[in-house]
């Protein structure tokens, strides 16, 4: 630990660089979850999606990313094993950030939508199990994460399937689809506003409330969400009433005017998901970084929680936005166009299902990957049109990339851990 403390500033700058790389990877890969469906459904162009996502992801990451973070993300490892060797925690967290960042860059290059949470968890498990002790890892938590590979995509897929079928039955398969869209879409808008408000309050703003000692009961949370949903439904009904049937477009595609209504709705849900995602997942980059800074600043003492310097949050927020701009389009295309053909109504169903699954899983205490949730929702949308509507080759590649993520992060992390140990010990 002496070498680290003597070169504290240098070590922190190296850690900041790795934290930035991890945030870059989050932007390049995970942000596509919020915007890929909007691009695929042509509710937004790729350029518009990048601009909207950049604004809301940055706002979520910087404004609601949390002033205090747990130094050991997700309770995956036991800090007691590092009390006598705090330098191992520093080397390990540096290795984890670099390993997860590198894996996310590889996955993004190939357009694979993988879980950033699982990438960093795999990396932390790797260095802890091999570099310190197998007992340092909470294997029960790891098991529940592996279990979530099946549960969350399946739940999101079922919800998306049901939403698509309801839109089909109430609107698209009727004699007057446009009139029925005007009648029923405000109810979908209420539902979307309600669910996105819940996601934003429970996932996106939880850090802000906690830091300011604001405590909302579940009843108050649901009441606020219902009020937001009602406002969005009323405003939406007014906007919809002004949309006129475009007979020329409707000749080419019978539901063109109906889909315009859902396109408005998709943009609202995508913005809400981007804000909540930025605020929640930035911790995958700044959590390990805050742990490193905390250990160095406290002369080797490991605290359960660490105050986050606003500059560290800024590193995470900027990294996410730059990653999105530079590499984000590849994963967006996979989510939005390569799994199945999306229209605004189908894309809306996928986004609403993903947001609903996030709420259900959070309430049940299940570990969740927004990537896997959204991919599951898009699969559910495709299944509503039959198995032939899915590109099974792309689906296979995505599932393989999910299975590989934990071991890939772990293997890279072990290699980097021993390299850092050899250089800095």
Q: DSSP readout, 291-310?
A: HHHHHHHTTT---SEEEPPH
pLDDT interval class at 408 (50, 70, 90)? very high
253 exposure class (CB count in 10 Å sphere: 0-12, 13-18, 19+): exposed
* Average of per-residue pLDDT values in the chain: 85
pLDDT computed for residue 201 by the predictor: 82
Is 210's pLDDT higher than 70? no
Q: Which of 79, 112, 67, 118 is nearest to 96 (CA)?
A: 118
Give the tens place of pLDDT for each residue, 244-266: 777 776 665 657 777 887 887 88
DSSP annotation of 338 reads I
Rounded CA separation 242/17 (Å): 50
pLDDT computed for residue 45 by the predictor: 87
What lies within 8 Å, CB to CB, of 391 at 6+ separation is 338, 339, 340
Mean pLDDT over 105-134 rounds to: 90
Q: Which range scores top for mean pLDDT: 65-79, 88-102, 127-141? A: 88-102
What is the pTM assigned to this prediction? Answer: 0.85
pLDDT interval class at 208 (50, 70, 90)? low
Rounded CA separation 267/407 (Å): 36
Mean pLDDT over 176-187 rounds to: 85
Is 73's pLDDT higher than 70? no
pLDDT interval class at 128 (50, 70, 90)? very high
pLDDT computed for residue 203 by the predictor: 72
Mean pLDDT over 103-123 rounds to: 91
């Amino acid at each position: 630990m002496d070498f680290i403390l003597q070169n504290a500033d240098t070590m922190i700058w190296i850690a900041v660089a790795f934290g930035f790389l991890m945030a870059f990877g989050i932007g390049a890969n995970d942000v596509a979850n919020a915007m890929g469906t909007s691009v695929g459904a042509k509710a937004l162009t790729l350029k518009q999606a990048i601009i909207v996502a950049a604004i809301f992801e940055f706002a979520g990451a910087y404004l609601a990313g949390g002033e205090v973070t747990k130094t050991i993300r997700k309770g995956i490892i036991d800090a007691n094993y590092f009390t006598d060797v705090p330098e191992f925690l520093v080397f390990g967290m540096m290795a984890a950030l670099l390993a997860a960042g590198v894996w996310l860059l590889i996955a993004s290059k190939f357009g694979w939508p993988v879980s950033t949470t699982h990438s960093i968890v795999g990396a932390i498990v790797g260095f802890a199990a091999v570099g310190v002790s197998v007992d340092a890892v909470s294997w029960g938590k790891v098991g529940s994460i592996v279990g979530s590979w099946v549960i969350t995509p399946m739940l999101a897929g079922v919800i998306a399937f049901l939403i698509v079928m309801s839109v089909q039955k109430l609107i698209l398969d009727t004699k007057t689809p446009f009139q029925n869209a005007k009648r029923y879409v405000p109810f979908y808008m209420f539902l979307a506003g309600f669910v996105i408000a819940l996601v934003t309050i429970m996932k996106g703003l939880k850090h802000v409330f906690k830091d300011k000692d604001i405590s909302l009961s579940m009843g108050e949370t649901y009441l606020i969400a219902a009020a937001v949903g009602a406002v969005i439904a009323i405003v939406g009904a007014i906007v919809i009433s002004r949309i006129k049937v475009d007979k020329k477009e409707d000749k080419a595609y019978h539901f063109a005017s109906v889909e315009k209504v859902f396109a408005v709705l998709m943009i609202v849900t995508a913005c809400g998901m981007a804000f909540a995602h930025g605020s929640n997942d930035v911790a995958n980059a700044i959590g390990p970084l805050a742990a490193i800074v905390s250990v160095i600043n406290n002369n080797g003492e490991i605290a359960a929680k660490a105050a986050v310097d606003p500059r560290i949050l800024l590193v995470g927020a900027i990294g996410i936005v730059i990653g999105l701009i530079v590499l984000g389009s590849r994963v967006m295309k996979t989510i939005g166009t390569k799994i199945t053909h999306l229209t605004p109504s189908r894309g809306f169903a996928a986004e609403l299902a993903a947001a609903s699954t996030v709420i259900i899983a959070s309430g049940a205490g299940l570990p969740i990957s927004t990537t896997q949730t959204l991919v599951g929702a898009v699969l559910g949308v495709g299944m509503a049109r039959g198995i032939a509507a899915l590109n099974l080759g792309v689906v296979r590649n995505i599932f393989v990339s999910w299975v590989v993520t934990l071991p890939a992060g772990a293997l890279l992390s072990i290699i980097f851990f021993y390299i850092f140990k050899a250089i800095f010990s």
